[in-house]
Structure 1
Amino acid sequence: MPIRPRMALVAAAVLAALVSGVQGRAGDDAALQFQLGTLLFEETRYREALEAFRKAVAADNKSMAVQARMGVVKSALRLGQFLEASKEAQTLKLQDPRSAAVLSVHADALWSAGLFDEAHEEFKDALALEPDLSRGHHGLARALASQNQLDEALNEAQIALKLAPRDEEVHHTVGAIFERMRRYEQAAAAYGNYVNLLPNKDRSEKASWSRSQIRFLRSFGEREPIAMDEAAAAGLHTVDFKVIDDKVIVKAKVNGGRPQDFVLDTGSELTTISRQTASSGAVRPITYTLSAGVGEVGLRGLQLGRLDTLEIGTMKLSNVPALIKAPALRGIPKRETESFSPIGLGLSMTVDYASRKLTLGRHLPAEKAEFTLPMRHHRLSMVRGLINQTRPTYFVVDTGGEVISISTATADELNQVMPRKIALRVYGTSGWDRDAFLMPGLNLKFQDIAFNNFAVVVLNLQAPSVLLGFQVGGIVGHRFLSPYRVSLDLDRSELRMTKATN
């Protein structure tokens, strides 16, 4: 793009002025730092931009100081430094509480901290002050998408695009919404617009992921993704399952092959198969993508392919995106297993742990439940919990997990006094988490479901948090879910739980 060389020259000139020791008032220096930070941010050099904006925050001019702090928050968010973004955003809001732009940036920081409900309301507050605020519409689009209101979310994102057509992040959000709608060609076009707005030298993980995703989505061509015939799509499909090592196991067929064990894993975005299953089922890898989970490997490159068919009981899906666990992890005690997430396939589900029945469908019937928790879905499904009566956060609902855990970032915020740290041996989809430990004495509450004086596992969830774009607060697994008949209902954005009866 022709604007990039000019920007590079201007940035070089500003940098030269700073380095050569141009002497002047502190305000002049802050102004130069702000200009430099702005240009570096546009070049996606976020770490350098963050340093420049930090220096510009000291400007005597209040307006410039506010703009500089907004730059600090935005840069920190792009770098996955969610704690700094949150702290600076709080100060920013105190500086200018009636600015729509400030409210929108503060809401972005709330979102990154996993405070989705507060962010949702603040995006609406910002738009009430300034209806044509592109970042407000973008934030509202993400919030609505997390409640599965995809048509409304797309409308908000399209408004944001009209107001700010060169905001690459909005294009990325449009792509994500189209992908959830199973409109892959339009999703690929939106991701393409995102990549085209990046500097040519951008080699960030998000840019690499987007380039791979474009190739993958376009490989579907005229095929309908995650397709079912009309009768199957309108009905419900119930299968038996068994529980082994606190994991729900069902039988499934890949490309018409033999039935094999699949773990029900809502902690994963995609259906996952081993290299051996891919080979026997003639599943061809199309590209590589980034995956992240618990473990010291952090971000992990895996193959991405497409299943011609996936059969679970009476349900047959065609053209199913799938991760291929290649290369396989080494040094873990068990072989990586096949797994699938109904939520990742756009399906709602009911798991009856007492009767060992799993029900899947595009739509679930309305049901009363003992407990109904509002649920948000942003690549993974989550419910809100409260820790020690004061710290709200969202927990991933993970049927493939075993315990209730919180992230190290969440644990650090609690300032919990611990006589000694009880180390644990924990491994996940990215290998061993050698820093995992047990934290006793917490009080957890999920609406009316309470765990008092409870011991949680503390895990390093930084890598999945960066990939997801927000700080994951924790995970609720088998220990939380298994006493209940559990429904994850995408249509209603609800987690329904009723005490299981034998």
Structure 2
Amino acid sequence: MAVTLVIRAADASDAELQFQLGNLLSDETRFREALDAFDKAIQTDDHALQVRARAGKVKTALRIAEFDLAQREGELLKASAPGDSDAISLYADSLWSVGLFDEADEVYREALAMNKESSRARFGLARSLATRSKLDEALTEAQAAAAMAPRDGEIHAEIGAIYQRMHRFDEAANAYNNFINLLPNKDRSDKAAWTRSQVKFLKAFEGRNPVEIDEDDLQKTHTMPFRLVDDKIVVQAKVNGGRNQDFILDTGSEETVISRDTAQRASISPITYTLSAGVGEVGLRGLQLSRINRLDLGDLQVRNLPVLIKNPALRGIPKREGESFSPLAFGMSMLIDYQHRSLTMGRHLPEPEADNLRLPLRIHRLAMVRGMLNSTRPTYFVVDTG
């Protein structure tokens, strides 16, 4: 007996079940399986369900760092729901994930123009303002977004990051705790582990003023000589009142970094551990997080400064790992004069000459400027002096 097999697109009830399954799998942090379920749900002819399923697919792709997939699906989502502010904001999230920050800004503002009560659009605006160091405005927007969507953990995480950049560590720890409390119980992701470690670290500053600098020092500039060693800028600094030693100016690092030997000499004990992404064969490596009681750079003194300790040390490298710092971690700008071999740091620097090339800067963990690849692909490049 001949049998004819007919395969039809999923009907609405099947698609709805797949959509619900996708949500359940996502809550269980089974994101790859959730992607498959959302993909099956998208095949429906029910337009409203298709939009919801595609939104679920974009969110899930973002969770597992499938950023190109998120952007492609985000474009389809925007095309299928041009009047939906949540869909438009999610498309902006996908643009942000691939480093198209300026394009994301425009789309977030488009979503806000549709709906001023869009929490995700307000969140996106807050994140953008923070990258341009407009931290007070960013905090206002992020808190407004949290009030609209108190169970959106990503917004609380952003509030924590903003407070941390403002050196308000107690409030940052509280915001990160809000994020942790909203995670599924089974969430064992790197971000969840990192956040728990970060809360422990921030709480270790309780009773201290993080990144404390005298008001007089904040109001003036600080200039010091440097040496060029293997094309790296090297200055002298003292850790916890010890002897002068070389520090490399490294804007490619978020924090001040010291070696295990320096930490031992200065009696700096680890508070917790973190992971850092490297370049080349090193990849991810473990580091210790701690605090320098006092760092002296010329006539500038910074107290209660977060620090990364390179422990365990890397093996098989030609020379010992050295120390490094970035004025950006102090909330300061800098001017590098290669001709006169001098480094100037301060909250406010003299205006540059009018004919100098000036580029807009964003700080998204690291300092970045926008450029073009092959004249077609806009992208951001890290400003890395180290």
Query: How many angstroms does 1:241 deviate by?
Result: 0.5
Shift of 1:182: 0.6
Q: Does 1:225 align with 2:200?
A: no
The match for 1:53 is 38
Distance in 2 of aligned mates of 1:63 and 1:24? 16
In structure 2, the gaps of 5 or more residues are: 1-7
Match of 2:357 in 1: 371
Q: What residue in structure 2 maps to residue 95 of structure 1?
A: 80
Partner Cα separation in structure 1 for residue 73 and residue 282 of structure 2: 30
Q: Could you tell me how far apart the structure 2 residues matched to 1:27 and 1:297 are?
A: 49
- Are 1:29 and 2:48 an aligned pair? no
After TM superposition, the structure 1 = structure 2 runs for residues 434-453 of structure 1, keeping only pairs within 5 Å, are none
Q: Deviations over 1:1-54 (max 9, x none)?
A: xxxxxxxxxxxxxxxxxxxxxx99533222111111122223433222222212
- Cα distance between partner residues in 1 of 2:316 and 2:47: 55
- Which SS does the other structure have where 1:372 is aligned? coil
Alpha-carbon RMSD: 1.5
Find the counterpart in structure 2 of residue 75 from structure 1.
Answer: 60
CA contact (8 A) 2:255 2:325 kept: yes
Whether the 8 Å CA contact 2:233–2:249 is kept in 1: the answer is yes
d(CA) in 1 for partners of 2:150, 2:326: 34
> Would you say 1:351 and 2:336 are equivalent positions?
yes
Q: Write out aligned runs for 1:379-394 (5 A).
A: 379-394=365-380
CA distance in 1, matches of 2:317, 2:19: 48
Distance across 2 between alignment mates of 1:334 and 1:88: 47
In the alignment, residue 213 of structure 2 is paired with which amino acid? M
| 2:369 is equivalent to residue 397 of structure 1 | no
1:328 aligns with 2:313: yes
Amino acid at match of 2:116: P
Shift of 1:69: 1.1
Partners of 1:267 and 1:399 within 8 A in 2: yes
1:252 paired residue among 234, 237, 242? 237
5 Å-filtered alignment, 1:133-282, equals 133-282=118-267
Secondary structure, aligned partner of 2:268: coil
**In structure 1, how many angstroms separate the alpha carbons of the residues matched to 2:180 and 2:122?**
21
Distance in 2 of aligned mates of 1:84 and 1:65: 17
CA positional deviation for 1:203: 1.2
* TM-score, length basis structure 2: 0.95
Q: Give the distance between the partners of 2:62 and 2:252, measured in 1 at CA.
A: 23
Tell me by how many angstroms 1:228 deviates: 0.9
User: What does residue 281 of structure 2 align with?
Assistant: 296
SS in 2 for 1:373: coil
1:108 is aligned to 93
Contact map agreement 1:26 1:59 (CA 8 A) in 2:
yes
Give the Cα separation in 2 of the matches to 1:73 and 1:137.
19
Distance in 2 separating the partners of 1:274 and 1:119: 39
1:441 aligned partner: none
Secondary structure of 1:109's counterpart equals: helix
Moved more, 362-371 or 196-205: 362-371
Question: In 1, distance between residues paired with 2:322 and 2:19?
Answer: 51
Q: 3-state SS of the aligned residue for 1:126?
A: helix
Q: 1:51 to 1:313 in 2, by over 3 A?
A: same
How many aligned positions are there? 378
Q: Determine the C-alpha separation between the residues in 2 that align with 1:102 and 1:346.
A: 35
What is the Cα deviation at residue 354 of structure 1? 1.1
Deviation at 1:159, TM superposition (A): 0.9
Once residues 63 and 260 of structure 1 are traced to their aligned partners in structure 2, the CA distance between those partners, rounded to angstroms, is: 64
- Report if the CA contact (8 A) 2:9-2:43 is conserved: no
Following the alignment from structure 2 to structure 1, what is the Cα–Cα distance between the partners of residues 243 and 158? 39
Deviates more, 1:283-292 or 1:44-53: 44-53
CA shift, 1:94, in A, is 1.9
Indicate the larger mover: 88-97 or 322-331: 88-97
SS where residue 301 of structure 1 aligns? Answer: strand
Alignment partners' CA distance in 1, 2:85 and 2:65 = 24
Offset at residue 367 of structure 1 (A):
2.7
2-structure distance, mates of 1:25, 1:199: 30
CA deviation after TM superposition for structure 1 residue 148, in Å: 0.6
Q: Which amino acid aligns with 1:386?
A: M
How much has 1:200 moved relative to structure 2? 2.3
Pair 53,334 (structure 1): closer, same or farther in 2 beyond 3 Å:
farther
The 2-side partners of 1:106 and 1:98 are apart by 13
CA distance in 2, matches of 1:384, 1:307: 33
2:61 and 2:67 in contact (8 A); partners too = yes
> 2: distance between equivalents of 1:49 and 1:344?
39
Does the aligned pair in 2 maintain the 1:270–1:345 contact within 8 Å? no
Between 1:273-282 and 1:31-40, the stretch displaced more is 31-40
Aligned-pair CA distance for 1:365: 2.9
TM-score between both structures, scaled by the size of structure 1: 0.73
Q: Which residue of 2 aligns with 1:455?
A: none
Percent of residue pairs bearing the same amino acid type: 57
Contact 1:158 1:174 (C-alpha < 8 Å) held by counterparts = yes
Q: Tell me how far apart the structure 2 counterparts of residues 367 and 42 of structure 1 sit (CA, whole Å).
A: 52
Once residues 162 and 10 of structure 2 are traced to their aligned partners in structure 1, the CA distance between those partners, rounded to angstroms, is 48
- Is the contact between residue 38 and residue 56 of structure 2 (CA under 8 Å) also seen in structure 1? yes
Change (3 A) 1:27 1:378: same
Q: Name whichever of 93-102 and 259-268 sits farther off.
A: 93-102
